A and B are shown apart, each in its own frame.
Chain A
């Protein structure tokens, strides 16, 4: 098929944003419908990616490659089983986000919608890029719309939150940029060819010390984005201050870019450094799990509770990523999608509450379920999905993750499993305090139950939660080959490298393999078997 689906999915929202500039800002409802349909079209086109995806091919698919700036900078898009679902998750959540902010955003609607569309283009671009330069462009460019979304439409401390968010993320990504430059110059020195292609860099074999530094550069950028334990401080601020739709996108998709970055770059590019830093990273993930959970327990604000629960859940995902086995990494990817759905849904639910009460403090609620029975059912399902109740999506992901971790390192698994307990504790307790008990606040009596629009955007999420919980094969089988491929890359390269460790610091993988083969042939010839023949 010649139709460039990926380019379309990536840039259609941008096109919509440009179109929006020429629509007068007073026609708010027209703007909202227009944007909603743009997002819906993007989503439906992105479904083609799923249906036409060949789950037996390890190579990236839907590849589009054109020369762009020269010196290895190409416009190169393509997806594999890892990025496929993240793109669909993005396109799936954006129409929902637009529906959720239909009445919430009343001032500067046009600008808001433009920035949301720009954000969508940026995020999809990150997942679809196969050229490191292109990846970096999207990675950085997408900060700009998020900066405005938090800064203009956010809560009272929005300016502090947005500056902290941008500066911290940029700190990491600038150091990653330096690492990219170093990789680029190493590749040039090794081969005489300029390249920013990810798959070319995979072939590079660097000496362990260089790998260590480069790994730190990359890992810092991704760890800030995830966010892993000591770098998580921007997250609660950004989440609490962002408008609902911003929080949804932030939690559901933004954080996934960090884990995706680990899977796509940090692990396969620097396997030796990974080996060295693995215990540190795993311990940081564990601290994240426990610390995030404990912090969530004591939060007074529902939204920051959900934000800290993100820290905890992302810790488990990272731990599973570092297990470096099939179950662990598949579980991590699956859990990334689950976390996107359930935390996204929780933020939507909190948004619904906030629109009615204009407060998010837990103590201001209580007994809400009597006023909003439909809402309480939705809330319950979203909450249980986040807790990991069997039958819902969270369970499958968590079990896979923990299987993986258990195979890799038992002690980590024992500690990691606490996430399930703590999550149940803080979420159920929060649900109880908000939804049940006596009504202490007069205002609760005036709450109206969910309207059709609100039901309309939560239902698709609930359906997906059940689907992913009951029949995960739909998703897992599409990623098997890609994950396997990734693991091969990580583990086999280690073997190749062990043999060549004392040689020149820089060798192409092919050269190394060829040499290895040659040696084997030589041994064969020298061996007695050769003589007898």
Chain B
């Protein structure tokens, strides 16, 4: 249904971003927190309109912007994620000497980019969304202006990111040349009908894959991840590990869902993705073993998780993919929240050694962090277990048994480094003076909401599963 209402969620977010940007000039440094609260208000508004247009199939601009349930589900998810990130930033940015109100505006802009990506089926529009997202992300990575690492992260991200964007555009051009359109259904039709795709189209798909592979950090396009994750302000890292990844996977889901049985050429792409998935799972986890910086460990772990999610794409099981992304949001933001909690004015504790003994010293942060790590490692009864369970069982049903065996062995490797953090937290005596600022109600709110999410999704995910079922029902059947 062509209706202006399709634009409301996006309009609210963009308006919010611009308003926050404007107000930033007039608000004094110590009152910057209000901008955060204002942004959350806009997020709530956006969420309201998303919920309101559920199952209504609003579209606008000739269906270029199309709010099917999947798009709405992800829009809601992104709103939750950004709200968590904002809550985490409130204290962090003032205590880490990065007190710029721009972070809220940039987060909202990134959100609008992600929403465009998930609610369009035209690759060109998706590219526009991706650029809005990426440029906001470059700026976010460099938010700690006086910190060298942060600057390095921003520059690295920007250079490699624009390189990847160039690949993506080139791929789009090839695809357009081959299919005369950038609409995803048309492209899939092209692959399914006719004598089979030509080299041009295949090259196009491959280049598009490179572009997105970069954004969601698949091996071998992951090189930027650890440095950027380490250098960026921690709440921003949390955002990077969740937001762009989920948006990128949604696009991949839309592109590849009906792709496989298209033609024999599609088989080639399938095996390429198979290999990428194996590489991503194994390399991500193996390299994480050697890290001593918790942020870097989480960076590599997020690479590995992208590998597991890719398994869902290969298995063509859309609901397990969406469930994985949902679960991943809660456990990963939760884990980063705990890392953020371990800081005080002007100082962050990020080395493994710093974590020694904190489990008993700060029981709540320690216990929740442990739960998030166990969830990331895939122990029941947490969300992480159920997410992996769904993905892998779908993959076995799709006859991908070798891939699943590699996947579970990779996750065994991951158990080691997740447990190593817990070993430090609970089983070693602290050797360093760690003294943190525990007065941070917003952070504890996020910790407990994420804990709730992880347990609810792990034990009684019924409602969310029903919602996901509705969300993916708008997709064409595989």
Residues of A within 8 A of B (CB): 69-70, 108, 111, 133, 136-138, 140-141, 143-144, 147-148, 151-152, 158-159, 162-163, 166-167, 170-171, 174-175, 177-178, 181-182, 184-185, 188
Contact A143 B379 (CB under 8 A): yes
- Which residue of A69, A140, A158 is within 8 Å of B379 (Cβ)? A140
Contact B427 A174 (CB under 8 A): no
Q: Are A175 and B374 CB-contacts (below 8 A) given A140-B385, A185-B397? A: no
Q: 7 tightest CB-CB pairs across the interface, nearest first?
A: A181-B396, A174-B408, A137-B380, A185-B397, A151-B427, A181-B393, A141-B380
- Which residue of A70, A108, A163, A182 is within 8 Å of B396 (Cβ)? A182
Q: How far is the CA of A366 from the CA of B395 in the complex (A)?
A: 61
Q: How far is the CA of A428 from the CA of B395 in the complex (A)?
A: 55
Could you list 25 examples of A-B contacts with CB < 8 Å? A108-B360, A136-B380, A143-B379, A147-B419, A158-B427, A159-B428, A162-B423, A162-B427, A163-B416, A163-B420, A167-B412, A170-B415, A174-B412, A175-B405, A178-B401, A178-B404, A178-B405, A181-B392, A181-B397, A182-B396, A182-B401, A184-B393, A184-B397, A185-B393, A188-B397
Q: Are A178 and B385 CB-contacts (below 8 A) given A69-B465, A141-B379, A163-B416? A: no
B282 at the interface (CB under 8 A from A): no
Q: How far is the CA of A184 from the CA of B390 in the complex (A)?
A: 12
B214 at the interface (CB under 8 A from A): no
Contact A174 B411 (CB under 8 A): yes
Q: Name the residue on B nearest A147 (C-beta).
A: B419
B426 at the interface (CB under 8 A from A): yes
Q: How far is the CA of A408 from the CA of B54 in the complex (A)?
A: 66
Residues of B within 8 A of A133 (CB): 389
B45 at the interface (CB under 8 A from A): no
Q: How far is the CA of A143 from the CA of B381 in the complex (A)?
A: 12
Contact B379 A151 (CB under 8 A): no
Residues of A within 8 A of B404 (CB): 178, 181
Q: How far is the CA of A149 from the CA of B230 in the complex (A)?
A: 33
Q: How far is the CA of A136 from the CA of B380 in the complex (A)?
A: 8
Q: How far is the CA of A108 from the CA of B357 in the complex (A)?
A: 12
Q: How far is the CA of A182 from the CA of B404 in the complex (A)?
A: 10
Residues 393-435 of B at the A interface (beta carbon under 8 Å): 393, 395-397, 401, 404-405, 408-409, 411-412, 415-416, 419-420, 423, 426-428
Contact B416 A148 (CB under 8 A): no
Contact A177 B408 (CB under 8 A): yes
Residues of B within 8 A of A152 (CB): 426-427
Q: Are A166 and B381 CB-contacts (below 8 A) given A159-B427, A181-B404, A184-B393? A: no
B462 at the interface (CB under 8 A from A): yes
Residues of B within 8 A of A111 (CB): 360
- Interface of chain B: mostly helix, strand, loop or mixed: helix
Q: How far is the CA of A133 from the CA of B390 in the complex (A)?
A: 11
Residues of A within 8 A of B415 (CB): 166-167, 170
Q: How far is the CB of A21 from chain B (nearest CB, A)?
A: 9
- Which residue of A108, A137, A163 is within 8 Å of B419 (Cβ)? A163
Q: How far is the CA of A69 from the CA of B323 in the complex (A)?
A: 13
Contact A184 B396 (CB under 8 A): yes
Chain B window 439-478, contacts with chain A (Cβ cutoff 8 Å), 1 for yes, 0 for no: 0000000000000000000000110010000000000000
Q: How far is the CB of A441 from chain B (nearest CB, A)?
A: 30
Q: Name the residue on B nearest A172 (C-beta).
A: B412
Residues of A within 8 A of B411 (CB): 174
Q: How far is the CA of A279 from the CA of B389 in the complex (A)?
A: 34
Contact A159 B423 (CB under 8 A): yes
Q: How far is the CA of A170 from the CA of B374 in the complex (A)?
A: 13
Q: How far is the CB of B200 from chain A (nearest CB, A)?
A: 38
Residues of B within 8 A of A147 (CB): 419
Q: How far is the CA of A345 from the CA of B461 in the complex (A)?
A: 42
Chain B, interface size category, equals: 20 to 34
Q: How far is the CA of A111 from the CA of B408 in the complex (A)?
A: 31
Residues of B within 8 A of A151 (CB): 423, 426-427
Query: A163-B423, A166-B415 are known contacts; what are 8 more A-B pairs with Cβ within 8 Å?
Result: A69-B462, A141-B381, A144-B379, A159-B427, A166-B419, A170-B415, A174-B411, A178-B405
Q: How far is the CA of A336 from the CA of B408 in the complex (A)?
A: 31
Q: How far is the CA of A181 from the CA of B411 in the complex (A)?
A: 16
Residues 339-393 of B at the A interface (beta carbon under 8 Å): 360, 374, 379-381, 385-386, 389, 392-393
Q: How far is the CB of A142 from chain B (nearest CB, A)?
A: 10
Q: How far is the CA of A90 from the CA of B412 in the complex (A)?
A: 29
Residues of B within 8 A of A167 (CB): 412, 415-416
Contact A175 B408 (CB under 8 A): yes
Contact B396 A185 (CB under 8 A): yes
Residues of A within 8 A of B461 (CB): 69
Q: How far is the CA of A84 from the CA of B380 in the complex (A)?
A: 25
Residues of B within 8 A of A162 (CB): 423, 427
Residues of A within 8 A of B405 (CB): 175, 178
Residues of B within 8 A of A181 (CB): 392-393, 395-397, 404
Q: How far is the CB of A173 from chain B (nearest CB, A)?
A: 9
Residues of A within 8 A of B396 (CB): 178, 181-182, 184-185
Q: How far is the CB of B361 from chain A (nearest CB, A)?
A: 12
Residues of B within 8 A of A141 (CB): 379-381
Residues of B within 8 A of A166 (CB): 415, 419
Contact A148 B393 (CB under 8 A): no
Residues of A within 8 A of B423 (CB): 151, 159, 162-163
Residues of A within 8 A of B380 (CB): 136-138, 140-141
Residues of B within 8 A of A136 (CB): 380
Q: How far is the CB of A274 from chain B (nearest CB, A)?
A: 22
Residues of B within 8 A of A178 (CB): 392, 396, 401, 404-405, 408
Q: How far is the CA of A166 from the CA of B405 in the complex (A)?
A: 19
Contact B419 A177 (CB under 8 A): no
Chain B window 123-149, contacts with chain A (Cβ cutoff 8 Å), 1 for yes, 0 for no: 000000000000000000000000000
Contact A174 B409 (CB under 8 A): yes
Q: How far is the CB of A248 from chain B (nearest CB, A)?
A: 21
Residues of A within 8 A of B416 (CB): 163, 167
Q: How far is the CA of A515 from the CA of B376 in the complex (A)?
A: 49
Residues of A within 8 A of B462 (CB): 69-70
Q: How far is the CA of A163 from the CA of B413 in the complex (A)?
A: 12
Q: How far is the CB of B203 from chain A (nearest CB, A)?
A: 35
Q: How far is the CA of A62 from the CA of B152 in the complex (A)?
A: 63
Q: How far is the CB of A348 from chain B (nearest CB, A)?
A: 25
Q: How far is the CB of B407 from chain A (nearest CB, A)?
A: 9
Q: Name the residue on B nearest A163 (C-beta).
A: B419
Residues of B within 8 A of A188 (CB): 397
Q: How far is the CA of A468 from the CA of B401 in the complex (A)?
A: 47
Q: How far is the CB of B395 from chain A (nearest CB, A)?
A: 8
